[in-house]
Structure 1
């Protein structure tokens, strides 16, 4: 039997790219029924998880949010996906649920409490996407903070995750929760302890009050392809989200796995998921028509606003017929989408805008019939060594075409429909235990944290 693809589905609690099309339903992002219907559809289809991206950012140009972003719905507006997760958990039983919490905004104890509560509520189906945050310039303005240096954000993230792992793995022993009504002992004091952490950015002497869920630590995802991002992924991530052209993806995946091996982990066990846009229809011609309609909904001004969100750079003020100024790489908002457009074969600013108009940050789509898009996607996996895809919404803002057309083709080829056994997201995604692998740095904190 062929190795099954890992399949996650990408959403944010806000408008999605083709919202201007009449059939697009992402304008319902504050309608709970919209998310309930989607989650039930995805569970029935047998995908691995539904992922919600999240951030506090928005495009900033000339020291403020541009009218283009507000008018065009560019990375704006959006809600809080953590408020959606319990509702969709209640109407599903196997679908994994993953969300982003930023290490720049959420303190470690806050992340540990939220994720542990969700792990219990979902029966062990929760995952945390570790990011330092998107739209950093806007987020810093919103919270009244100075913009933190890009590389320092990853130093903070490392310390943040280290403390979070101590709280999840070190505070409660297995079997410490007794619930003994007759004896009057809810938890064994010998099995519950405060942890001590003195890191470069965070301190803690305290206990996580939430008893451990089935996974203890949520499945750890990471999205960030800069050098510091890859290093963080190699140290902690169990799955990584990536978006780039094939050659860049191949190099990034190889580097993450090499660094993981150097950290004493099994790099091949990290699931690498590529952002995949599937424009699919019963005929190639119809798929191409859908693709053209999607592209036509976004102007070059929209593309410039979106680029400003990811990088803090205003391309509309640069010479459209010259490449991006290399000094632009000094931006502290985001590096990946600057670095990808530098070098000896760098595109012009106009070409960058056209790329963002057509593809945003997700790379070129797979376009065609079900058989054609699966062939295209399979070639990318073979070339890059990736394990599957983080599927982007279709022109409806949902995954209707993927579920109705692509999933049957994947099942026909033995590439879907036989997920790993297990009750938790970690078991089904990794094929291993519900808990962190022994080689993961977080596993060292379990039952070994000294009493304070």
Structure 2
């Protein structure tokens, strides 16, 4: 059976310190140029040269939970603060490229769905259908307080909120304008058929939205939908809504279980197993020989801010490990929730007690592949065999991490049929699925359509 091309996205954030902390200090690193539009345009062009499917922007709208009692570490190490709005870059990146998809994260917390839907449709028009939305709820108490809430909404309630949020946007994108409502007839002077534009009259627990949508149907109508929830509620939400799911499985067996589970759930919601593409987060260190690659990885490790890695993990899970020494064995900690962290690394250092430094090192390197282009291609093929459709490529440096992958790994993958050599036509959705520009009828958004022809 011939190899199927993997999909590739670049996992970035409009900030300095994203996933691997401290490497921005390297002389060749340019992450500190994140305020400069040219920085992102140059990267987008590099990715398009390598036939990447998309650039994928993470985002947060608040500070992580305190580390050593406050947020000083995040500011001093540049860990996701300052952090700029990634959606503002989308039109410029699309204008500088022809095929690259632009995916950005936006929380249901940060904008009313009516205005968000309008902005997305505008961007989808401007990019000729290359926009993707990574749907997230919110897990940061500071973000909740930034938007007027007293504290963090309970986990399952956040997904109930997300269900209504996407329902409003689906009604606006799919149900407000019929396909042929925009006429623009110069002879009759009729610009749009009033009878084919509909108010949505949504009335729910959080939102009351009359409509109609102020933007005519964009090339995709609904943007390509990403999601990354790993919880029970998150998996169910992804199974119902997502077209692309970002996973960070620690190993191949886990990836097989994670992808199969969400695909099973998707079938139970009336969708097909191949309606969802799975993107695994991975980080690559490549060189011409294995020995050179391992030496390069060891040199990179010397730049990693392990205290920063631990603060990122601590801030995300809400457990402040900042008062402990990095060499403290984690078995000696009495912090609530520590047992889950013990489980993450129990096989990592079998010959001695694992420490917080091991945890920090694990967060920086657990998804790393080190080797020659051929060895990396072998490993990526294994991830594909485990159920993964694509790779969300993490960086240690921008632009070097992506330039090296494009120049050295992509050609080997293309020779093996594991990477595309040309882009498909149409929108981002059609490039990924080859089934047209619009959502299939079995997606829940399609139930809001009034009249949409030729959608499979």
TM-score when normalising by structure 1? 0.90
Rounded Cα–Cα distance in structure 2 between residues aligned with 1:230 and 1:208: 29
Match of 1:138 among 138, 142, 147: 142
Alignment of 1:248-327 (within 5 A): 248-317=254-323, 320-323=328-331, 327=336
Deviation at 1:358, TM superposition (A): 4.6
Deviation at 1:366, TM superposition (A): 0.6
Query: Does the 8 Å contact 1:75/1:309 carry over to 2?
Result: no
Deviation at 1:64, TM superposition (A): 6.4
Alignment of 1:319-358 (within 5 A): 320-323=328-331, 327-328=336-337, 339=340, 341-342=342-343, 351=355, 353-358=357-362
Q: Deviations over 1:45-65 (max 9, x none)?
A: 211111111111323316964
Query: Does the 8 Å contact 1:341/1:352 carry over to 2?
Result: no
Rounded Cα–Cα distance in structure 2 between residues aligned with 1:73 and 1:418: 37
Q: Alignment length, in residue pairs?
A: 438
Rounded Cα–Cα distance in structure 2 between residues aligned with 1:100 and 1:128: 6
Match of 1:129 among 134, 137, 143: 134
Cα pair distance change 1:396/1:96, threshold 3 Å: closer
Cα pair distance change 1:62/1:407, threshold 3 Å: closer
SS at match of 1:24: coil
Query: Does the 8 Å contact 2:24/2:32 carry over to 1?
Result: yes
- Give the structure 2 partner of residue 408 of structure 1: 411
Q: Deviations over 1:297-337 (max 9, x none)?
A: 233321221113321211234694244768438xxxxxxxx
Cα pair distance change 1:125/1:183, threshold 3 Å: same
Give the gaps of 5 or more residues in structure 1: 330-337
- Give the structure 1 partner of residue 31 of structure 2: 26
Match of 1:387 among 389, 393, 396: 389
Rounded Cα–Cα distance in structure 2 between residues aligned with 1:179 and 1:168: 20
TM-score when normalising by structure 2? 0.89
- Give the structure 2 partner of residue 332 of structure 1: none
Query: Does the 8 Å contact 1:98/1:127 carry over to 2?
Result: yes
SS at match of 2:48: helix
Cα pair distance change 1:270/1:281, threshold 3 Å: same
Cα pair distance change 1:158/1:376, threshold 3 Å: same
Rounded Cα–Cα distance in structure 2 between residues aligned with 1:373 and 1:283: 11
Give the gaps of 5 or more residues in structure 2: none
Rounded Cα–Cα distance in structure 2 between residues aligned with 1:176 and 1:73: 49
Moved over 6 A (4+): 346-349
Match of 1:39 among 44, 49, 66: 44
Give RMSD over aligned pairs: 2.5
Alignment of 1:45-60 (within 5 A): 45-60=50-65
